[in-house]
Structure 1
Amino acid sequence: MRIKTIKAYRMLQPFIGGAYKMSKGRHADAFDSIIVALTSEEGLTGWGEMAPLGTFYSPAFTAGAEAGVAELAPHLLGRDPRAWAQINRLMDIVFKGHPYVKSALDMACCDLTARAANVPLVTLLGGRESETAELYRVVTHGAPDTMAKLAQRIVADGFNRLQVKVGGGVRGDIERVSAVAAAIPKGTVMFCDANAGWTPFQARQFADATRDIDYVFEQPCPSIDECLSVRRALAKPMVLDESLTTLEDLLAIHRLGVADGLTLKISRIGGVAKTRALRDLAVDMGFMVTVEDTGGAEIDTAAMAHLSLSTPEEHRLHAIAFHDWVTVRTAVAPPPVKGNRMGIPDGPGLGIEVLPELLGKPFLELSEGR
């Protein structure tokens, strides 16, 4: 089995609810997605997707991914997509760093491999651990009363898990979280996510002022060492997200005892295969794990769902359904969402049926021998 053709698309995916807002004025109006199709000699096609959240969230941007995929893709022609480790070593050799550039290509290899084997991708990622994963919803950054009302609407829709955006002015964020906590039923699971927006001084101020509120603290500061300094003074669980991109990061977090949980983002790590490897090690180390990504529609959400549902349930925090965020469609038979839970589509590979006519004109078309 060899990769015969490669196509790549760039697609803007506007958000249904308007701008996605974080602290310090950071916001995005849409995912700007790169979608990749790898077709084998047998006529099977595997799909991959990645989309940065603007240019402010991680060291990734879509124009860079577009240029990088065009550089990398010729090296994959004629290769066996089932050789995940070889494919990733090759990409790392010919294109140093920039894991987000490689993510959609790796995802497409994984999808194509499972389609060729006629099994769902979840089977190749360790097996299905449960039928569905519980979803969380985001309370974006804004005025305290606006955030409280949004949290109430989310809970009224049947969701029990909230990620509340903080990381701006500490006093204002104390008011925001206090307002949200007062507006929702007792027992609602709340994560306070600063998106690495604070210094340790600010994070400790916030933690001290909100000690009577039940929440999980998520990524208060940029670095592992800064988060560790907060962790030492914290009587609440901590989850790290932006700090984790490599195996070395995972080992350091475990060695230092910085966190209880981890959020693994596929494009930040470099694809499904590498994310699966870190996920398995994190589970063995005893961490709680969320597997998601920085953005995308049905393709990327399907990959997130397969990774989530192959994570042992006792170590799984929650999941998110990005295809429900955007106004455009890329596929039929998306990951099924019922209430506050998400499953995986039926069928081999990712299980979705991508409709190329919805993606627009490819910016890259390559064929072996041409």
Structure 2
Amino acid sequence: MTISRITVYRQWQPFRDGTYRCSGGRSAEGFDSTIVGITSAKGVTGYGETAPLGSFYDPAFAEGARAAIGQLAPTLLGADAAAIETLNRRMDLILKGHGYAKSAIDMALWDLTGKTSGLSLATLSGGGDGHSVPLYRSLAQEAPEAMAARARKYIAEGYRRLQVKVGLDVDEDIARLDAVRAAVPSDTVLFCDANGSWGTMETRRFLTATRNLDYVLEQPCESYEENLAIRRSCDRALVLDETIDGADVLLRAIADGLVDGITIKLARVGGVTKAKLLRDIAIARNLRITIEDTGGAQIDTAAYAGLLLSTPEGLRQHTVDFHNWVTVSNARADFRIANGHMTPPGGPGLGVEVDTTVFGRPLFEYAL
């Protein structure tokens, strides 16, 4: 399964619900997505996608992804696409870091391998457990009454799990959570996500003021040490997201008793291959697991949903349906959503059919 061609496209994906705001006043209007197609000598093409959330969320940005892919792609021509871990090591040798760029290439390799073998990503990554994965919807930071109205809208659309974005003024964040909690059914699962914007003082104030409310606390502080200090006084489940960027930090967090669950983002950790490693470590320690990404449409959603489907059902937290966050599509895919769950598309690889004509001319292409 020799790699004979690598093609790179760009797609701008505006948000369906307008500006997305998170802590610190940071915002984005959509995903600037990069799509990679890897074609074998037999003419089969696998696709991958990476879409950083602006340039403020992770140490990543869209133009950086495209530049890094342009450096990596020529070195992969002629290689065996099925040797995914070997190619990951090659990419790490050639370019240090920049996992968000490698993620699209790695994803395309899994898709190509699945299409060639006739197996789905869920089957290749461990075997599907059940048929669907739980969904959540994120509530971007607004005034409390606006967030409550949006929460009711998402509940009416069938979501049963909501992520309340906090991390600004603590008193305002308390009001946000109070408003959302009062607006939704009592069995709605709430996560409060500060995206690492609080210090320990702000986090403790929030925990004290909301002690009577039922929610999971997600990534309150930026540094590992601050979150560890909070763990000692936190009487509710604590999930880390931005902190978990590799196997070393996850093993340390497990040893320190820091986490009850983790969020794995494909672009942050470097793709499906490395996300699977983190997933399997978390499974071994009975942690709750979210697998998602920093953004994208059908291609990306199919990848992380497929990997989550092969995660034991009892340890799955939830994921997102990013393809429903945006106003454009980049593939035909049979996502079925009902009762707060999503069934990933069937079929080999990612299970998506990509029509590259929607992207326009490729940004660049490398071929043997």
Q: Where does residue 151 of structure 1 map in the other structure?
A: 151
The residue matched to 2:90 in structure 1 has which SS? helix
TM-score (norm 1): 0.98
Give per-residue Cα distances to partners, 1:128-154, cap 9 Å, x unaligned.
001001111111101011111111222
Q: Where does residue 241 of structure 1 map in the other structure?
A: 241
The letter of the residue matching 1:243 is: T
Aligned length: 368
Q: How far does residue 156 in structure 1 lie from its aligned partner after superposition?
A: 2.3
Give per-residue Cα distances to partners, 1:95-130, cap 9 Å, x unaligned.
011111101000001110111101111111000001
**For the residues of structure 2 that align with 1:85 and 1:120, how far apart are their CA atoms?**
18
The letter of the residue matching 2:312 is: P
Q: How far does residue 354 in structure 1 lie from its aligned partner after superposition?
A: 0.4
- Asked if residue 117 in structure 1 is aligned to residue 97 in structure 2, the reply is no
* Cα contact 1:305–1:335 (8 A) shared by 2: no
Q: Where does residue 65 of structure 1 map in the other structure?
A: 65
The residue matched to 2:64 in structure 1 has which SS? helix
Q: Where does residue 207 of structure 2 map in the other structure?
A: 207
The residue matched to 1:311 in structure 2 has which SS? coil
The residue matched to 2:119 in structure 1 has which SS? coil
**For the residues of structure 1 that align with 2:217 and 2:241, how far apart are their CA atoms?**
11
The letter of the residue matching 2:296 is: G
Q: Where does residue 173 of structure 1 map in the other structure?
A: 173
The letter of the residue matching 1:237 is: A
**For the residues of structure 1 that align with 2:142 and 2:308, how far apart are their CA atoms?**
30
Q: Where does residue 272 of structure 2 map in the other structure?
A: 272
**For the residues of structure 2 that align with 1:334 and 1:320, how far apart are their CA atoms?**
16
Give per-residue Cα distances to partners, 1:265-310, cap 9 Å, x unaligned.
0010001111111101111111100000000000000001101100
Aligned sequence identity (%): 49
CA-atom RMSD in angstroms: 0.9
Alignment of 1:209-224 (within 5 A): 209-224=209-224
Q: How far does residue 199 in structure 1 lie from its aligned partner after superposition?
A: 0.6
The letter of the residue matching 2:147 is: M
The residue matched to 1:308 in structure 2 has which SS? helix
* Cα contact 2:161–2:340 (8 A) shared by 1: no
Give per-residue Cα distances to partners, 1:147-184, cap 9 Å, x unaligned.
11111222222221110000001111011111111222
Alignment of 1:1-370 (within 5 A): 1-368=1-368
* Cα contact 2:6–2:365 (8 A) shared by 1: yes
**For the residues of structure 1 that align with 2:196 and 2:162, how far apart are their CA atoms?**
18
**For the residues of structure 2 that align with 1:334 and 1:74, how far apart are their CA atoms?**
33
**For the residues of structure 2 that align with 1:168 and 1:132, how far apart are their CA atoms?**
34
Give per-residue Cα distances to partners, 1:214-244, cap 9 Å, x unaligned.
0000000001211111111111101000001
**For the residues of structure 2 that align with 1:367 and 1:89, how far apart are their CA atoms?**
21
TM-score (norm 2): 0.98
The residue matched to 2:116 in structure 1 has which SS? helix
**For the residues of structure 1 that align with 2:358 and 2:339, how far apart are their CA atoms?**
27
* Cα contact 2:144–2:176 (8 A) shared by 1: yes
* Cα contact 1:5–1:38 (8 A) shared by 2: yes
**For the residues of structure 1 that align with 2:188 and 2:339, how far apart are their CA atoms?**
16
**For the residues of structure 1 that align with 2:114 and 2:193, how far apart are their CA atoms?**
35
* Cα contact 1:3–1:40 (8 A) shared by 2: yes
* Cα contact 1:301–1:335 (8 A) shared by 2: no
**For the residues of structure 1 that align with 2:243 and 2:98, how far apart are their CA atoms?**
16
**For the residues of structure 1 that align with 2:66 and 2:157, how far apart are their CA atoms?**
37
The letter of the residue matching 1:21 is: R
The residue matched to 2:226 in structure 1 has which SS? helix
Q: How far does residue 11 in structure 1 lie from its aligned partner after superposition?
A: 1.2
The residue matched to 1:264 in structure 2 has which SS? strand
Runs of 4+ deviating beyond 4 Å = none
Q: How far does residue 339 in structure 1 lie from its aligned partner after superposition?
A: 4.3
The residue matched to 2:264 in structure 1 has which SS? strand
Consecutive unaligned residues of structure 1, counting only runs of 5 or more, are none
Consecutive unaligned residues of structure 2, counting only runs of 5 or more, are none
**For the residues of structure 2 that align with 1:287 and 1:149, how far apart are their CA atoms?**
33
* Cα contact 2:8–2:35 (8 A) shared by 1: yes
Q: How far does residue 338 in structure 1 lie from its aligned partner after superposition?
A: 3.1
**For the residues of structure 2 that align with 1:334 and 1:75, how far apart are their CA atoms?**
34
* Cα contact 1:246–1:269 (8 A) shared by 2: yes
Q: How far does residue 329 in structure 1 lie from its aligned partner after superposition?
A: 1.3
The letter of the residue matching 1:269 is: V
* Cα contact 1:8–1:35 (8 A) shared by 2: yes
* Cα contact 1:143–1:176 (8 A) shared by 2: yes
* Cα contact 1:298–1:334 (8 A) shared by 2: no
